[in-house]
Chains A and B, each alone.
Chain A
Amino acid sequence: MDASNTITTTTGRRSGRVRHGRRVADRVLRIACTGATLVGALVLGSILVMLIVQGVRGFTPTLFTNPTPGPGSEGGGIANAILGSLVLTGIGILIATPIGVMAGTYLAEYGRGSKLAALIRFLNDILLSAPSILIGLFVYTLMVRPMGTYSGWAGGVALAIIAVPVIVRTTEDMLRLVPGTLREAGAALGAPPSTVIMSVTWRAASAGIVTGIILALARIAGETAPLLFTALNNNSWFSANLMGGVANLPVMIYQFALSPYPNWQGLAWAGALLITATILALSIIARLVIKPQASR
């Protein structure tokens, strides 16, 4: 009884002796860190509120059925831009997926310990955060100038170049998580390396690889800068040969948002809401697909 009393008083006195400055510094840190997180959440909230308030008004049936109107005229929709965006992103991801998955496979399976693979891995990481506008300039020089016209193909290639490093990185990371014993078991059955990779390691890492592709899709769906010099924009309906400008959501939003016409601005807001909702949904799906242990 006596002893326990002493203990409680001692602990009481100890915590009382903590210097005032230490406690203040601690409290400042806690408040500052919580505040920083709140600011981040508030900005995201504010962006979403802005998009919903401004964009929902534009969500009419004609938005999805009519092409973009001419300057200053009323009505119209963004159907051609939606379709164009789908086609450009589709071309981009169709080019990028085989290249990215194969390159990631090389880095993880064949190139272990090789100097060249280390260099490629390093440069791929740099390409991952390279300014997308430079990729636009590259594709402009590579395709638009020789062909003499803006084209959907050039836009798709530019998006593919942005998507490849994302897919390479996630593919390699996911393949590295596959235990070596699985590969050895495959090889011990007499399967050649390509069979082991295709039917053992790829299958084991498939969820992670798919996540990488979805993340790449989310990344390129909203890219604007590289499309400015490659696919540009177009106010007419989509034509199948993809030559000349191809309408797409990001460039349409850029041009319409900064235009002086209220109708165009309204369409830009509706497009912005549509594209952001799509991309956020894709990112959330990608995070749900990925397994907790796989997140490096």
Chain B
Amino acid sequence: MPALTESIAVGRTRSATARKAPSRSLDTLFRTFSYGAALLVLLVLAGILGSILYGGWPAFREFGFGFLTSSAWNVGTEQYGALVAVIGTVASAFLALLIGVPVSLGIAVYLTQLCPGWARKPVAMTIELLAAVPSIIYGMWGLFVFAPLFARYVQMPVSNLVEGMPIIGTLFYARVPSGVGVFTAGIILAIMIVPFIASIARDMLDQIPTVLRESAYGIGCTTWEVVRHVLVPQAAVSIIGAIMLGLGRALGETMAVTFVIGNANRLSASIFDPSSTIASRIANEFNEADGLQLNALMALGCILFVITFVVLIIARLLTRRVQSA
């Protein structure tokens, strides 16, 4: 009996050593390959920054700091400035947040607090499918369905109403009520970022212990009071992170905005007037651009890179801190 066990043990050891030799080199190879793949992620990010810095450098050298403050964009005289595109980008993204944030928080509260159990899954799926619709389809919807309705039922009445008024008159007056412009872009962007913010906010609200919610209901709080005094303070930091994430998307969104913003290089105080964003200008002009114009577009890309990456880094830090805590 002992002899038998020994012989089995010996046999096993031998087969194990026999198999180990080739599999160890495979093991190293596997490890190296996975390490390399992970490093590639770093390289791609560095490559994106490097390539647009390299491409945009001549424009920065030519115009210096004036590139940021100039509103010129003239292919004939080769004068380029980023101001209109930067303002268009920031303004449309800001409007998107202004409209999108209340809507997404509303959806998150509905899904976690008000929705009857059987409807929760399909409703959540519907909202998530909004995130899957390609950006170009939003562009077509915005231009062919939304813009005409918006022009007729919002822009024209509002323009007529506010014409000649001191501040509101300049802010809301549409010289050509065509339906496209910064405000339309803001609305379309709002629709596009809603599913992202809503799904993160919903996850955060779901993570709050049910006991907290139930004890608040137990002392007679209404849903509004539970949301306002229990849920929002608990999830506030990560919801702000989710909003920044939405902002990052809104800043860099290209195709939908290109359809509905009107693509004009004009500095206008009215949010109903057409303008352009960094991304829409690159999409519109890059293929026909040459020489300094190409460099100027790359330089615009650099500015977009810096803005969105700062926003996204803040967003990730905010959402991360809460998850680990």
Contact = CB atoms under 8 A, between A and B. Distances in A.
B41 A103 contact: yes
Contacts of B135: 222-225
Contacts of A120: 38-39, 41-42
A165 B283 CA distance: 23
Interface in A256-279: 257-258, 268-269, 272, 275-276, 279
Interface stretch (A45-53, A65-73, A86-94, A234-242): A45-53
Interface string B13-41: 00010001001101101110111111111
Contacts of A29: 109, 223-224, 227
B123 interface: yes
Contacts of B144: 50, 54
29 contacts: A34-B110, A36-B104, A36-B105, A37-B127, A41-B123, A41-B127, A43-B130, A47-B138, A50-B141, A99-B40, A100-B37, A102-B38, A106-B35, A110-B34, A123-B42, A126-B45, A129-B312, A134-B305, A138-B48, A190-B16, A193-B31, A223-B134, A228-B287, A250-B255, A253-B140, A254-B255, A257-B140, A272-B137, A283-B129
Contacts of A228: 283, 286-287
A134 B301 contact: yes
Contacts of A124: 41
- The secondary structure that dominates the B interface is helix
Contacts of A125: 316
A255 to B, nearest CB: 11
A2 interface: no
Contacts of A268: 140
A243 interface: no
B287 A229 contact: yes
Nearest 7 pairs between A and B by C-beta?
A131-B252, A222-B134, A36-B106, A102-B37, A26-B222, A194-B30, A141-B51
Contacts of A229: 286-287
A39 B114 CA distance: 16
A195 interface: yes
Contacts of B134: 221-224, 250, 275-276, 279
B54 interface: yes
Interface string B251-263: 1111100010000
Interface string B106-148: 1101110111000000010111111011111111110111000
Contacts of A140: 286
Contacts of A254: 136, 139, 255
Interface of A: 18, 22-23, 25-26, 28-30, 32-37, 39-41, 43-44, 46-47, 50-51, 54, 98-100, 102-103, 105-107, 109-111, 117, 119-120, 122-127, 129-135, 137-138, 140-142, 161, 164-165, 168, 190, 192-195, 197-198, 218, 221-225, 228-229, 232, 250, 253-254, 257-258, 268-269, 272, 275-276, 279-280, 282-284, 287, 296
A44 B129 contact: yes
Contacts of B133: 44, 47, 222, 276, 279-280
Contacts of B195: 40
B248 interface: yes
Interface residues of B, number: 94
Contacts of B85: none
Given A99-B37, A232-B287, A275-B134, A197 B30 contact: yes
Most buried by A among B198, B220, B249, B312: B312
Contacts, number: 266
A225 B255 contact: yes
B102 interface: yes
B304 interface: yes
B225 interface: yes
Contacts of B235: none
Nearest to A34: B110
A57 to B, nearest CB: 14
A249 B47 CA distance: 28
Contacts of B308: 130-131
A285 to B, nearest CB: 11
A279 B130 CA distance: 11
A134 B52 contact: yes
A49 B51 CA distance: 42
B107 A127 contact: no
Contacts of A258: 259
B296 interface: no
B224 A26 contact: yes
A103 B34 contact: yes
Contact of A105 (B34, B39, B44, B259): B34
B107 to A, nearest CB: 5
A232 to B, nearest CB: 7
Nearest to A254: B136
A46 B149 CA distance: 13
B279 interface: yes
Contacts of B313: 126
Given A41-B123, A134-B52, A192-B23, A51 B34 contact: no
